[in-house]
């Protein structure tokens, strides 16, 4: 199993849609999890940190399932500006952040 695995997409959704991304990880000892968004030719920006079962921030909800070792990111009421690549990031046993390959989202009018 890869340390962090994501569906690369692309996900093409209309404005207003709800979209969910899943991410699986191999380090069962991880205590913290992160979602970053990255726009084309820009740096990754922290979207959400997850330290317990989940986190919610406006239209964005992250949920953690420790038993199955996956985390999900749900985006409700998608906006055009949500178009980006979403990176799932999980620390490995050495404490280094391991990045998934990223999931590309394209929100269309």
Partner 1 sequence: DTEVTQTPKHLVMGMTNKKSLKCEQHMGHRAMYWYKQKAKKPPELMFVYSYEKLSINESVPSRFSPECPNSSLLNLHLHALQPEDSALYLCASSQLDGGETYEQYFGPGTRLTVT
For partner 1, the closer CB: 18 or 32: 32
The residue within the footprint of partner 1, chosen from 37, 62, 75, 102 (CB under 8 A), is 102
> What is the distance of C-alpha 64 from the center of its chain?
11
**How big is the chain, counted in residues?**
109
When asked if residue 2 is in the footprint of partner 1 (CB under 8 A), the reply is no
Which of positions 30-69 make contact with partner 1 (CB under 8 A)?
A: 31-32, 34, 41-46, 49
Residue list 3-22, contact with partner 1 (CB under 8 A): none
Question: What is the rounded CA–CA span in Å between residue 34 and residue 46?
Answer: 7
Residues 6+ apart with CB under 8 A from 28: 66, 69
Count of residues of this chain found to bind partner 1 when the rule CB under 8 A is applied: 19
Question: Does the footprint of partner 1 cover residue 97 (CB under 8 A)?
Answer: yes
Residue 28 backbone zone (phi > 0: left; psi -120 to 50: alpha; other: beta): alpha
Judged by the rule CB under 8 A, the positions of this chain that interact with partner 1 are 31-32, 34, 41-46, 49, 87, 91, 95-97, 99-102
């Amino acid at each position: 199993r890869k340390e962090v695995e994501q569906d690369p997409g692309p996900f093409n959704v209309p404005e207003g849609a709800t979209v969910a991304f899943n991410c699986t990880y191999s380090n069962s000892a991880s205590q913290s999890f992160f979602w970053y968004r990255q726009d084309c030719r820009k740096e990754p920006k922290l979207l959400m940190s997850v330290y317990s079962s989940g986190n919610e921030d406006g239209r964005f909800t992250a949920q953690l399932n420790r038993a199955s070792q996956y985390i999900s990111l749900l985006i409700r009421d998608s906006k055009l500006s949500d178009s980006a690549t979403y990176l799932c990031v999980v620390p490995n046993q050495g404490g280094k952040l391991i990045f998934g390959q990223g999931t590309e989202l394209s929100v269309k009018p």
